[in-house]
Structure 1
Amino acid sequence: MLDVYDGDPTKTVRWWSGPSEPPRVCVWEITLKCDLGCRHCGSRAGAERPGELTLEEALDTVKQLAALGVREVTLIGGEAYLRDDWVDIASAVTKAGMACTMVTGGYRLDDFRIQEALAAGIRRIGVSIDGIGATHDHLRGRIGSYEAALDAARRIMATGRIGLSVNTQINRLSLPELPALAELLVEIGASAWQVQLTVALGRAADRPGLLLQPYDMLNVMPLLARLKRTVLEPGGVQLFPGNNIGYFGPHEPYLRYGGANGHAWSGCLAGQAALGLEADGTLKGCPSLPSVDYGAGSVRTSTIEDMWRSSERIRGLGARTRSDLWGFCATCEHADRCKAGCTWTAHALFGRPGNNPFCHHRALTLAGQGLRERIRLVERAPGVPFDYGRFEIIEEPLDGEEGYQGGLEELAALATLLGAAGSGVWSNAGLRAATAKTAQPRRREVAP
């Protein structure tokens, strides 16, 4: 999921609303090795990816990105700092004239590594915080990861020379804690907050009960707008909704573009303004896309420029038209501009793009008809990096009962851990009640 901006990490408003030639940003997974075990990790990070690029190959990749005209390289993992030569790669990016940024879980981001990042020219670091206390620890798969992330954020701020942003996944566990997180970001001095929906890819595909439902957009979008207006803007924090949250609802211009006239969602920018690069050299139009379906080739066998300019798996992402859409999106009034929103979200649900139920406009339209949509898992993921299962869409009465399918044991366990005085997570009784009844479905929709 790519949020594309102009390459200046010192700015707080960096949105671009259209395609680019050449790509503006490359998000580069330099290793799949990770010191956390996130329950929503799309790449199932942990061990190194087989055949990760050597330093020599990585440095050549930096040269190719610079020659292509990329303005910013964001280093991710896994956990980028677990690669022994990560500083060499970051330094090379900076010396090549590109802005170098970094996203981290922050578990072992101590003063020494922060000083290494500073010396390498990194001027912005995004720290992932997915909840308060035990919620974050549970989602990130390691006790103490919340305090470590907060400590890393404060150490970054203490440099006075590296900008701090925070990234948050919105799901069943983190949603009730967004107000508390907003206040926390103001307290620690973050300049930006990127929020995105948890998508049914990788480990998240194993936990469908963790995912939001499409009708939750009716609550998520107004909540984000309220937090921006009452907490974030007064506190100096810019809100950046991810490209898988949208679209065309009444809060869209204010949330995504700060209320500027004439700005609206203009479609997924994967493969148009951005690139994703895996640790083994596989190039994609977005780092979050399933590799088996969207990998354009490897830097070991093709040049980045050739893949960018000629690969159908990259260039084809921007060629989608209304005729490629299906379901609700095919008949939507915004279809020609929106093109079914985020490719990553749709493909992870249905094995193909072109129909994205996580849309505020769509939820509002259906609600006006007394209806809502719910997704249900019908085929499990195989258990490899960037894998996905298969979901169906059920259209049902707007006042239907909750019908989560699977993944509830750990949600119930966390509710027990936090207790009645926890930070907003549903109780065991609430979870049981939510799964006890399911409204009669009216129609089911799966990808042909």
Structure 2
Amino acid sequence: MIPLPRFVTFHVTNRCNCRCRHCNIWQLPEPPAPETEQFCRAVDDLADWLGPTELVVAGGEPLLCRHTLPVLERAARRGLRASLATNGLLLDEDIVRRLAALGLEAVNISLDGFDHTHDRIRNQPGAFARVLQAAEALHRAGIRVCAICVLMDDNLDQITGLVDFLARGDLFDGIFFQAMALPFGTRAAIPGWWREHPRFPHDTARVRALLDELLAMKRGGWFILNEDNQFPAMQAYFAAPDRFTLERCAVGEIGFTVNAGGDVMLCNYLEPIGNIARGSLRDIYYSPEAERRRREMAACRDNCHLLINCCFDPSQLVLPPATAVATDGSHD
């Protein structure tokens, strides 16, 4: 029996006002988009099918897209637990007031280091300062703010300091770490991509020590939002990015994405299973096409950003003994 999805992501646009060094989505063409009302009807589908499920509205930069605020408004009206994933650069006082009026649950803002590091990674001078301004406006409006930080070679020496900096303030409610993976927006899996990528950290001892420290900080009460098992999983991943460390890929049973063209995707590297213009999300999710895609995914042995980051599933994890987290809460 296919379990209900835990969350759904609407990637409403490929357009972005950043040119991040670890992401390719801004290089993708913008597909012909469905009408805003079709995205809103898809929200109704989710509410009728799943009740108060989690909906993430993302991009690209979703605040560049005309669908975003109407989708969030419909989600609030239908009782979905909606959040916005953004680089924060367009979160001015007016937008924040509108988000607060919708009762938005949370905003996840990309933050990859301190001032010059974050600005360089995002290719946007002043981005760090604007993120802090956005977080302050959201905090005043009563909206929870989470920092999303990608671990890469550029920022490893700043990570623990960044956690300390955010924890000492009151603007952020937590930080979630993601591993540098095949750049988002890459059209197909590329074996060995990490060997030549300038952002990928190759000093595995340094990465291992940092992840050990982050796990210890989390267990010490710091507001790090990753699951404990995610840290040894990332250690194993950074040590051997091409080694598949799961029993199987279960992404197709955890969640799905509706992309900017309305296509419903279980996996970004495989064909869509339908389109919101041609069927309800429930019917698409249980369709024969979706079942074929799940079989393809179950047989896949390629690592991707979903496995280690967004759709991390500790129940499928197979780790070498040296990286396993002990069940009594201690770290081997």
Q: In which range does the TM-score fall when normalised by the shorter chain?
A: 0.7 to 0.9
Of 226, 230, 243, 1:240 maps to 226
Among candidates 81, 86, 93, match of residue 75 of structure 2? 93
Relative to 1, partners in 2 of residues 1:248 and 1:183: Cα closer, same or farther, differing over 3 Å?
A: closer
Q: Deviations over 1:83-122 (max 9, x none)?
A: 2342211010111121111111001211211111111221
Residue 201 of structure 2 corresponds to residue 212 of structure 1? yes
2:48 alignment counterpart: 67
Whole-Å separation in 1 of the counterparts to 2:291 and 2:2: 17
For the 8 Å contact 2:181–2:304, the answer to whether it is kept is: no
Distance 1:145 1:248, change over 3 A: closer
1:273 equivalenced with 2:254 (yes/no): yes
Kindly indicate whether residue 285 of structure 2 is the aligned counterpart of residue 308 of structure 1. yes
Structure 2: which 5+ runs fail to align? 187-192, 237-245, 309-316, 324-332
Matched position secondary structure for 1:210 = coil
Matched, 1:224 2:211: yes
User: How far, CA to CA, are the matches of 1:108 and 1:58 in structure 2?
Assistant: 22
Question: Out of 171, 174, 193, which is 2:152 matched to?
Answer: 171
Partner residue of 2:104 out of 122, 134, 153: 122
Write the letter of the residue equivalent to 1:220. Answer: V
2:272 to 282, 295, 309: 295
Whole-Å separation in 2 of the counterparts to 1:101 and 1:89: 11
- Does the CA contact (< 8 Å) of 2:72 and 2:104 recur in 1? yes
**Shift of residue 54, structure 1, vs aligned partner:** 1.2
Amino acid at match of 2:274: G
Task: Tell me the secondary structure at the aligned position of residue 139 of structure 1.
Answer: helix
SS at match of 1:28: strand
Residues 145, 59 of structure 1: CA spacing in aligned structure 2 closer, same or farther, 3 A cutoff? same
Describe the shift of the 1:203–1:146 C-alpha distance in structure 2 as closer, same or farther (beyond 3 A): farther
Q: Distance in 1 between matches of 2:265 and 2:168?
A: 37
The residue type paired with residue 212 of structure 1 is P
Structure with the greater alpha carbon radius of gyration: 1
Change (3 A) 1:300 1:82: same
SS at match of 2:225: strand
Instruction: Describe the superposition over 1:239-262 as per-residue Cα deviations: whole angstroms up to 9, x where unpaired.
Output: 316998642979xxxxxxxxxxxx
- Residues of 2 paired with 1:305 and 1:54: CA distance? 20
| Counterpart Cα distance in 1 of 2:129 and 2:255 | 33
- What is the letter of the counterpart of residue 53 of structure 1? P
Partner of 1:133: 115
**What is the CA distance between 1:162 and its match in structure 2?**
1.1
Shift of 1:141: 1.2
The aligned length equals 296
Q: Is the contact made by 2:179 and 2:305 (CA closer than 8 Å) also made in structure 1?
A: no
Residue 23 of structure 1: CA displacement? 1.0
Corresponding residue SS for 1:212: coil
Quote the Cα distance in structure 2 between the aligned partners of 1:364 and 1:209.
28
Q: Could you give the per-residue CA deviations for residues 205-256 of structure 1, whole angstroms, max 9, x where no partner exists?
A: 697121134x72x4434423323434x5656513316998642979xxxxxx
Q: Is the contact made by 1:64 and 1:304 (CA closer than 8 Å) also made in structure 2?
A: yes
Distance 1:93 1:299, change over 3 A: same
Distance in 1 between residues matched to 2:12 and 2:198, nearest whole Å: 31
Which residue is 2:38 aligned to? 57
1:185 aligns with 166
For residues 57 and 177 of structure 2, the distance between their equivalents in structure 1, rounded to whole angstroms, comes to: 18
Mapped to 1, the partners of 2:2 and 2:291 lie a distance apart of: 17
State the shift of 1:193 in Å: 1.4
The offset of 1:268, in angstroms, is 4.6
C-alpha displacement of 1:149:
1.0
Distance 1:99 1:79 in 2: 20
Q: Structure with the greater relative contact order (CA < 8 A, sep ≥ 6): 1 or 2?
A: 2
* TM-score w.r.t. length of structure 1: 0.58
